[in-house]
Amino acid sequence: MIDLWLLRAVTGISAFLLFQIELIIAKIFLPYYGGSYLVWGACVVFFQAALLAGYLFAHGLIQKYGMRRYRWVHLFLIFLPLLFFPGRPLAAGPSGYSLPLALDVFLRLCATIGPVFFVLSTVSITSQMWLSSSSLSSKFNPYALYSVSNFGSFAALLSYPFVFEAYWDISQQLQFWSVLYLVFAGLSVWAGQKIRIKEKVVAPDQADGETGPSRKVQWFLLGLAGVMVFLSVNNIITNEIVPVPLLWIMPLGLYLLSFVLNFRERAWCPAWIVRYIPFWLGIAAVMFFLVEEKIFPIPVSLILLCGIQFILCMYCQNRLISLRPRDDRHLTFFYVMFSFGGFVGGVLTAWFIPVVSYSIIEYLIGLVVIAATLVFEERRFSLRWRHILWTVALVAAVITWPTWYPRYNFWCLLMVLMLFRLVFCSAFKGAPAAVVLSLVLLGGIAYYPLDQFNTSRIVQIKRNYYGISKVLDSNGIRSLVHGETLHGAQYLAPDERNHPLTYYSLPMPIGEILSSDVFFFSRIGLVGLGTGALSAYGKPHQTLDFYELDPDIYIIANQYFTYLRDSAAKINFIIGDARLSLEKDKMARYDLLIVDAFGGDSIPFHLLTKEAISLYRERLSSAGILMFHVSNRYLELRSVLANAGASLDAHVGFKVGKDSSLIDIVSTWVVITWDDASFATLRSGFGWKELTPGAFGKTRLWTDRYINILPTIKLQQFLESIKSFTPFSW
């Protein structure tokens, strides 16, 4: 019995190590790539590629030399990474090459954790073949070890934000990881000595029908679909809120949990998931449009998105285990095929689709792939006219619903859901090709965001690796929206367009300072461009340096807004991450440095650490002022800046401004300065309040090695957004 537990321990620990290093390295890389959520997407593609490479390597050698000889190769491989990481410190700084972000991240991952990740990726498939070739009683179901592997991964994901990230910095996390790797290596050697292998004798002409073309396609499609669904949900979440591991792990954790439940010795998957999968595909499609229309509060959208994702992943993994080869000779090839599908899904979702679409259409493409597996399973490719008519009715309902009912209506929603249930469970029964056609058409109308039904408002939509930006016209005002966050607005009338709006209007704290003659700012640095509204305060003697990560925002601000063109100041643009750009430009000195960059709904966290603020101080003049725009719905960042300022012996203050001239806007700003006179003027002349550590919650000092989001979450705000949501309102 101890032999089986040894294999389980080796498999579980290796998976724990594998997925914990994913989160650690993604967090390390985030500051070097502007905090973009693409960093996580690029990391996932690398992880899928390394997993596929590990499976291919193990599959090829085991098939050629047998498990007995491969076991010694495997034990040798485990100690090979000690020549790199974890045997040596992890060097994960910027690459210094001018490569596309996704490719640069991929290559840096190969150079840092590539060897150890490759080795760990071979462990699960090797352990299963090891068990299958042993004399243990559990040899007849080696796939159960894959459940153990995914449980280890799930444990790593769940423990990271609540234990490791909360209490340890990156250095301590890496030390723990290295020690645990040595434990894993020791257990592997012990297992190699204790568990004997008996090669199976198989007749070379033995027939087997378990790896036919149809079965291979199903393995591939199910692997592809599962990854596309969880990654697209991840894209929706991180694009709308903020790119942090706490949110990244939600879709991935549910994806792994679906493997744990379906690959265990007694697979668990409710029958209603498999039986009604066409209906759940329809519900998932409806959910996409509801989330895109911003009908639900963000917490409700998170719950619904993750719930439907879990159902879909449960279906994919249940079908995978049901279609697994009964002959263990094909076990390794089974994993190669569905991991290949996962790799293709990662490339499509994280690299390709974001640059060719206008919405997060990869979610609907994932639904189409799941529906395609039904076609291959039922072998029914025909369509009838009634199926086409029902498909047209469905698409018409989705298109006309927002037009007829522009506001949320529970009863209308209920009718649409009943229509989908009728169609997918009755009209399309036994016709999987009709399900595919319906989802393809729904994906077609979602290619361009649902705002298309009111095209008079839309001026421009642009999607790239940093998210989705929309320029909208309404009631004589043009606004820029990124995700669901307003990034600025401007009057369209020529005589009013030089009056900044929203967070940057005259009544706001930043407007009061820039429009005043109390301070003399010769050179101003601005991190984050938006619409360029702050340039409206520019004076002829001033130079404004805008640091902008997203090159498309620069194009939008110049082409669709006039703040920059109308400004009296001299304006320069620096494209790229502000921290890296400021580190390179050692001669830059600013009288005022404004940090107004947003990723999702918050300033990217690497711009708020003690090291970042130390860098800003070096770029300020002796009486310089540093200002942060920290307006945020769900995170309290004033406490973070209070700690950082106090650790650097700076004066820290804050002010909240309100403006109801356009819409109710609340703008919160924090100031940090090392000049006594400047801070005294801000307090006495402008009403800024002193900000001390602990005034808005206790948080540990954020550094480049330690960031913990949990203490900053405005839990009450989350609860209020759910509480104020009235499902039965018109």
At residue 14, the pLDDT reads: 96
What is the pLDDT, as a whole number, of residue 450?
Answer: 53
Query: Does residue 454 surpass a pLDDT of 70?
Result: no
pLDDT band, very low/low/confident/very high, at 452 (cuts 50, 70, 90): very low
Instruction: Name the pLDDT band for 444 (thresholds 50, 70, 90).
Output: confident
Q: Is 693:704 a contact under the CB 8 Å cutoff?
A: no
pLDDT band (50, 70, 90) for residue 205: very low
- Max avg pLDDT among 71-75, 349-353, 567-571, 634-638: 567-571
Q: Residue range 562-589: average pLDDT?
A: 93
Specify the range with the lowest mean pLDDT, choosing from 231-240, 415-424, 434-443, 458-467: 415-424
pLDDT at 201: 54
Length of the chain measured in residues: 730
Mean pLDDT across 136-151 = 90
Report how far apart, in Å, the C-alpha atoms of 215 and of each of 140, 322, 387 are: 21, 11, 27
C-alpha to C-alpha distance for 475 and 663, rounded to whole angstroms: 12
* Average pLDDT for 346-361: 88
Measured N-to-C along each axis, helices 144-159 and 123-132 cross at an angle, to the nearest 10 degrees, of 150
Instruction: Specify the pLDDT at position 403.
Output: 67
Q: Is the pLDDT of residue 659 over 90?
A: no
| Mean pLDDT, residues 346-367 | 90
What is the pLDDT averaged over residues 74-99? 78
Query: Please, are residues 226 and 317 in contact by the beta-carbon 8 Å criterion?
Result: yes
The CATH number of the structural domain formed by 1-198 is 1.20.1250
Q: Is the pLDDT of residue 630 over 60?
A: yes
Domain boundaries defined on the chain: 1-198, 496-723
Q: Is residue 730 scored above 70 in pLDDT? A: no
Give, for 347, the enclosing helix (H) or strand (E): helix 331-347
Residue 509's pLDDT is what? 95
Chain segment 249-306, per-residue pLDDT in tens? 789 899 999 999 999 988 999 999 999 999 899 889 888 888 877 777 777 888 889 9
Take residue 98 and report the two structure tokens written for it.
């001018």
Average pLDDT, integer, range 150-178 = 92
Please give the pLDDT value at position 419.
Answer: 76
pLDDT at residue number 109: 87
Give CA separation, 510 vs 28, 52, 273, 594, 639, in Å: 32, 51, 53, 9, 20
The fraction of the chain above a pLDDT of 90, given in percent, is 50
What is the per-residue pLDDT across 357-401, written as a single tens digit (0 to 9) for each?
888 899 999 999 999 999 888 777 777 888 888 888 888 877 777
Please check whether residue 263 is in contact with residue 144, taking contact to mean a CB–CB distance below 8 angstroms. yes
The correct CATH number of 496-723 out of 3.90.1150.10, 3.40.50.150, 3.40.50.720, 3.40.50.2000 is: 3.40.50.150
Tokens of 408: 């949320």
377 exposure class (CB count in 10 Å sphere: 0-12, 13-18, 19+): middle
pLDDT tens sequence across 305-331: 999 999 999 999 999 999 999 888 889
**pLDDT of 247 above 80:** no
- Whole-number pLDDT of residue 204: 47
CB atoms within 10 A of CB 61: 18
Whether pTM > 0.85 for this model: the answer is yes
